[in-house]
Chain A
Amino acid sequence: MNNALPTGDVEHHVDYAAAPVIEIRDLITHYAERRVLNNICLNVYPGEIMIIMGGSGSGKSTLLRHMLGLHQPTSGSIRLLGKDITRLSEKEFYALRKEMGVAFQGGALFGSMTVGENVMLPLREHTRLDENTMQIMSRMKLEVVNLAGFENLMPSELSGGMVKRAALARAVVMDPKLLFFDEPSAGLDPVSAVELDELILRLRTAMRMTIVVVTHELESAFKIADRITVLDDGEILVTDTVANVRNSDNKRIQDLLHRRPRSEEVDADEYLHRLTR
């Protein structure tokens, strides 16, 4: 079964009996002629930390961009909090955006604004709070990510780890139900990476968010995941608990886990044909 749920020792903060908050059905998508994602089906449940893992070119970033509504799929549906985002009008999607937070790989903080203004931007956009309240709220979130007192710095004055944490603060400033995190540990030193993992775990317990993390870092994935989805060549190999993914007998998964390059049978005739055609 592709979309296996954990049995037995179920983590108490995930409600697998509830309706999934993310529900992807038969997602197919193309870049020009090339099929990038093929028949993706995925459920993510309230309170869950779902890790989407795969090598580069596996389609994991594309899958994330689809969940964020940045691309339209060729076919299939993506339901976030029960709403099919492939069919939403711009106005309806705008309302749904309040429930979603995204931390991009490079942080994507706006270079022309201070850290504090960056964190405040979603509040400015979606609420009619007064300046003072917004400031307090953004300071609270900066406090959560251990960046208190940095709100007047420009993003260019922050270190890589601080940029990611500031991006996380901006992503959660509206207290979203869904948090998406793209490559949290990419480009970070091991200590900052571990700190960020712990921060993600803390956020889930404190704010009861459902979190989707896209990563190729095994260690971080095993540490924070409730379930892991392994993506390869645009298809889901498995969606399962950490233990089951680890013990999977799928060869390709074991290759990925043990950092082996893809082992391909080389057929001499086919090889010759490819070169001489």
Chain B
Amino acid sequence: MPNNMKYSLLVFVDGVGRKTVRAVEEIGYVSSLLAESLYWIILGKKHKQAVRVATVFQEIMAIGVQAVPIVSVLNLAIGIMLAIQGIETLKTFGAESQVIIGIALSVTREFSPLIVSILVAGRSGSAIAARIGSMLESQEVDALRVIGINPVRYLVSPLLLAMLIAVPALTILGDFMGLLGGALYTSLQLNLGLAVYADRTLEVLAVDDIRQGLIKSAVFSAIIVLVGVSNGFQVKGGAEGVGKATTRSVVLAISCIVLADMVFTYFLNR
């Protein structure tokens, strides 16, 4: 092997090694963050340092309630899109009316949690990273610590709790809007009444389908918070650093969500 090739191979291996170590470090950090924030949510009261309820509600407002219009619109659009594609595909078999099953299952199990989480990652995940990053830069996190307030308890736990409530709630809304979108298009296209569509949907949908979507959305919420917070806490270098962390947290959160979705879908459907 020529010498320079040997060298570049060495550099490559070295790079992979370093990245792996960093990834493992980050996973370790994120897990301890999750454990600590869950600890404060559950046991905070015992230490007379309960998670602030007012903040949780504020966050639910920002993460959930304010996202209602956009979640509704997007999921309605997804439902209509699924109906168009479904009817087109099933036409080949003359089985257009079976589209109802397809829409019902894919919306509740897949699209609603995924779309909602990606949306929340973009809206709130970035805001989390930016807020924590700038608090770190302006020494507000230090100020919390010297006052004797645990930053995880004060900043992360309320977020996690709010996210775990808001995202599944949005997912239920998304389920409804997606099904509505599908129903509107299908009933127009196939001359079905909305009531017939609703009946058929309720026939095929099991509680398990909704639950699958909700479990996923809970996992995705944790991903959004943890990725946002860990990126925020690693901010270095002023405003530019905050900007970088924000971008990174959105890209990373969405990637993690999609990958986690694949893994979960595999295990939940076995």
| CA–CA, A121 and B154, complex, Å | 12
Q: Is the CB of B148 within 8 A of A106?
A: no
| CA–CA, A100 and B213, complex, Å | 49
Residue B149 CB within 8 A of the other chain: yes
| CA–CA, A167 and B142, complex, Å | 13
Residue A111 CB within 8 A of the other chain: yes
| CA–CA, A98 and B147, complex, Å | 7
Residue A110 CB within 8 A of the other chain: yes
Q: Is the CB of A125 within 8 A of B142?
A: no
B138's partner among A69, A94, A106, A125 (CB-CB below 8 A) is A106
In the complex, what residue of chain A is closest to B142 when comparing beta carbons?
A70
Per DSSP, chain B at the interface is helix
A125's partner among B139, B140, B147 (CB-CB below 8 A) is B147
Q: Is the CB of A122 within 8 A of B147?
A: yes
Interface residues of B in 137-164 (CB under 8 A from A): 138-140, 142-143, 145-149
User: A110 — which chain B residues lie within 8 A by C-beta?
Assistant: 135, 140, 143
Interface size on B, residues (CB 8 A): 11
What sequence of 0s and 1s flags, for each residue 118-138 of chain B, a beta carbon within 8 Å of any chain A beta carbon? 000000000000000001001
Interface residues of B in 173-216 (CB under 8 A from A): none
Known: A65-B142, A110-B143. 15 other contacts (CB 8 A): A68-B142, A94-B148, A97-B147, A98-B148, A102-B143, A104-B142, A104-B143, A108-B138, A108-B139, A108-B142, A108-B143, A110-B140, A111-B140, A122-B148, A126-B148
- Complex A-B, nearest 7 residue pairs according to Cβ-Cβ distance, in ascending order: A97-B148, A108-B143, A108-B139, A104-B139, A102-B146, A94-B148, A108-B140
Q: Which residues of A contact B (CB under 8 A)?
A: 65, 68-70, 93-94, 97-98, 100, 102, 104-106, 108-111, 121-122, 125-126
Could you pull out 11 A-B pairs where Cβ atoms are within 8 angstroms? A69-B146, A93-B148, A97-B146, A97-B148, A102-B142, A104-B143, A108-B138, A108-B140, A109-B140, A111-B138, A122-B148
